[in-house]
Amino acid sequence: MTTRPPTDSGGQGHKPPESQGGARRSSADARTANAGRSATPSILESTLSGPHHPIDTPREQTAPLTRAEDAAAQDVRSPTNYAAAVNRGRQAFQCAESTPPTHVAGSWKPREQHNLLATLAKDWHSTSEPVDTPEQAALRKVAVAPSEVHADTALRQKTATELEVLLHYLSGSLELPHPPNFAKAVLPLLQRAMLEQYHETHHEAMLTADVTPRAQLRKSMTHNTLIGLLFKANTDTDCGRRMLGRLMDDVKRLYFDGIHTLHFVFNSQRIAQIYAGTAFHLNGTCIVLEDSTSEAEEGVYKEATFRRKYAVRIYGADTIGLVVLLATLGQLPGVKVVDAERPRVDSTDIVDNRYFLLRFDTASCPEMLRGITKLSINGQMITLHHHVVFQRVPCARCYAPYHTVGFCKIKPVMLTKTQAKFRRTYKGPVPSYAVGTTTQYRHTDSDSLTNFLATLHRELAQSAAPSSTASSIPEPAVLIDERVRPPKVEVAGGQDVMAVEPAQGPQPTDDAETTPPSDGFTVVTRRAGRG
């Protein structure tokens, strides 16, 4: 009986046996073998050494996909970025319902976390499409159908159905994303423009969100860029992905005003009400959508509207007092303060509350206060922090609003000039005011209290009025720019030209030859000196 030698397993000092024929397999043969193995089900190989016994080995095979629904469900995954979501369309967000999360990733204040969780818990599965009657569905089909564009000299007559669509649309009973398309064939250009402007004014609805400078948004950001930022920050959960998918379908325009307001424009007031009060992540901040466009009456500001007004924080005005500060600023042309107060914030929002908060009647900064961070009133220097635009307080060294004193890199020779750029001096009447004693403010009836406050107001106004010995026409209050202006020089023709201010640093000293031309002017050519 012939015995087979034991199989060499390649231990220490042993070389594994060569393949049959003693030659190493070529790369082509290896690729062919690998392709054959990948085409067949993988089977666990039996033991190579020892006697051969028939054993049962499990096969590494997955269950076949016998239904088309299973294959589609296995292929559909939630998009991980905004570009993938746009490419896959609305089906990318059609995932199964899931339980709303109970925790939001990141560090948030209690109020912000409550708003974010409440937003995720909303029903984002349903669609925002209007529910139409059969008649409205037929009219909508006519309104959104493509149409030819006719010149003003080649207009056609409106059909009876088109007239009915137009009447229902203008009355508000037919909700459309835009004016009917057939208007391009039946109405002149200017009348079509009137319908477009009517739609933007009376059909579309806008919600706004107050954005802090920490979000680092720019006015030049497009709709697609802003939606991409929202998608990146809010799609870490299934509820967030459904929410952003719904928002991408519903929001018509999204833009940033460059100051502190993000505008969301929707096709109708019905859709806008769905998003009123919702909260979103945005670059590490929390924004809440509010209705700040509708007003009850002129001169009355809702809380959401009031937040859209421009505001500044005033530091260092404790010596002159809030009353004198407001009376002084009120004399500057174009500066109208509608509210002033100490900060009313809870303990979680306090960082530095040593300021007065002033809000103006405009959404942008008054022209006389733009770019000003230091204001001198009767020798008292106050600081203006434009906190809706710049997150940090102005530099205490160079007065620039872009950085704090720890990051100031202004050279000492440029410090005075830089300070003058951001500093102004108030020139005008400054009233005087004394609070009085506690006893003066104790009254028992409304008339007595009203007369007392009116008297204080009248005395304050009289203290700021010019005296009788002064001229009859008082000069308006102004802010003096202390920057040194280059002197004006007179040239031929009687024109005054501003002299060029010499540049900082080493000046050129090497002069070339000068030749007086025929017109009498001397042209000097200089070579730049080496710094």
DSSP 7-36: PP---TT--PPPPTTS-PPPHHHHHHHHHH
DSSP state letters, 238-302: HHHHHHHHHHHHHEEEEEE-SSSEEEEEESSHHHHHHHTT-EEEETTEEEE-B--S--SSTT---
For the chain, list residues with pLDDT below 70: 1-98, 295-296, 348-350, 466-474, 484-531
Cα 91 to its chain centre, rounded Å, is: 28
Name residue, tokens 């509207």: 305
> Residues near 282 by Cβ (< 8 Å), separated by ≥ 6?
211, 215, 217, 229, 230, 233, 262
Nearest to 360 by CA among 448, 487, 259, 286: 259
Cα 74 to its chain centre, rounded Å, is: 37
Check if the beta carbon of residue 265 is closer than 8 Å to that of residue 252: yes
Furthest C-alpha separation in the chain: 141
Query: How many Cβ atoms from other residues are within 10 Å of residue 289's Cβ?
Result: 22
Name residue, tokens 């530099």: 395
Q: What is the pLDDT of residue 2?
A: 52
Q: What is the pLDDT of residue 505?
A: 47
The SS3 of residue 161 is helix
423's enclosing H/E stretch is: strand 423-427
| Secondary structure percentages of the chain, helix, strand, coil, to 5 | 30, 15, 55
Q: What is the sign of the dihedral through the CA atoms of 167, 169, 170 and 173?
A: positive
Q: What is the pLDDT of residue 303?
A: 87
Query: How many Cβ atoms from other residues are within 10 Å of residue 114's Cβ?
Result: 13
Amino acid (one-letter) located at 376: S
Nearest to 279 by CA among 108, 112, 102: 112
Q: How far is CA 206 from CA 275, 317, 360, 466, in A?
A: 10, 38, 22, 47
Question: Is 55 exposed, middle or buried, given 0-12, 13-18 or 19+ CB atoms closer than 10 A?
Answer: exposed
What's the rounded Cα separation, in Å, for the pair 198 and 204? 9
Check if the beta carbon of residue 127 is closer than 8 Å to that of residue 250: no
Which domains, from first to last, does the chain contain?
Answer: 84-307 (no CATH), 309-427 (3.30.70), 434-463 (no CATH)
Structure-token pair, residue 496: 């005054």
Q: What is the pLDDT of residue 16?
A: 52
What's the rounded Cα separation, in Å, for the pair 322 and 325? 5
Share of the chain above pLDDT 90, in %: 56
Q: What is the pLDDT of residue 475?
A: 79
Q: What is the pLDDT of residue 157?
A: 95
Q: What is the pLDDT of residue 86?
A: 63
Per-residue model confidence as pLDDT tens digits over 187-244: 999 999 999 999 999 999 999 999 999 999 999 999 999 999 999 999 988 899 999 9
Angle at 327 between CA 324 and CA 333, to 5 degrees: 140
Structure-token pair, residue 11: 């231990």
pTM over cut 0.75 = no
